[in-house]
A = this chain, B = another copy of it.
């Protein structure tokens, strides 16, 4: 349904053609400084064609906090946020009255709900993610203020053009340790931090644009400074909630963390992350990080990293042979210009969902720790 989280709960609403989209965030701790300026930057990064953290003056998708703060400080009550829709229905969609768009949600929404919204796929619209990003910005601020948690996502592959994501590769691990959002945005609209790979990605995208086609990609995300001990076995292991969060995003096809699918090919003797005592942090750490910062469903203090697969955009302007709702063969081509690669826009959305997972599990662990300290005899 439309609520995510146990004690830090986000409930979103809205589709493409209604009055507004937004969310209610329940469980935000009181006393946190919070204004629209904390929320807007990620919403702006989410918009098409945006890649800068800066906030242009007369932009669209302006968020308005409705409740839950006073004098710029959270009250502990639910924070409602709203972004107005521009309500006109673009003409380009008109043929979708006849055709369920292939690999869109038009047909399944009708099957499920027995009714068709003018936007076709209802809540499967990318516009639904606005509420997630707004809520995620609050989660991120809490995590940063409490633990200096840093969450940075970037595009690691477009089509067959890919950065090395092998966890035994030093360069990849180094990228995870240092990459910043500023660097990601400085990389231009493709949001890949590796200059050589990026150049090839741009060409790849241009190729699909020129052939009126589209291509998918992979977003990789790192979480640094995650407190140790986060994650709720057995069903709500940290990786399970991250997978849930990521696969709830539109157009996703897969999730992997740490060594991921490649890790199935690395023998145990190399895959095991040996422990050593680290003088600087005065605790055990691991020499490698194939575990991706999570062992047994619980964060171990190493960098958490994972990747999310996004399929090629379903809307393409070349002709596709398909069928109408009532079963007649036909040919459909989307009118207008369409972005051949929407993966880069997912970057702030992936970050938002990661923050929502973490903050909820962080609160749960703090509850446990606080009470355990009071009842334990040790």
Contact = CB atoms under 8 A, between A and B. Distances in A.
A234 B377 CA distance: 35
Interface string A235-252: 111011111111110101
B104 A295 contact: yes
A296 B124 contact: yes
Interface in A243-297: 243-248, 250, 252-261, 263-269, 271-277, 284, 286, 290-292, 295-297
A7 B364 CA distance: 8
Interface string A175-204: 000000000000000000000000000000
Interface residues of A, number: 168
B372 A114 contact: yes
Interface string A80-111: 10100000000000000000101111011101
Nearest to A256: B254
Contact of A372 (B21, B31, B367): B31
A13 B312 contact: no
Nearest to A30: B113
Contact of A263 (B24, B216, B232, B255): B216
Contact of A311 (B80, B248, B264): B264
Interface stretch (A44-52, A54-62, A313-321): A313-321
A275 B100 CA distance: 8
A229 B11 contact: no
A40 B108 CA distance: 33
B368 A76 contact: yes
User: What is the total number of copies of this protein in its complex?
Assistant: 4
A322 interface: yes
A340 to B, nearest CB: 8
Nearest to A242: B247
A42 interface: no
A247 B254 contact: no
A351 B299 CA distance: 27
A200 to B, nearest CB: 13
Nearest to A366: B370
Contact of A240 (B22, B73, B244): B244
A118 to B, nearest CB: 6
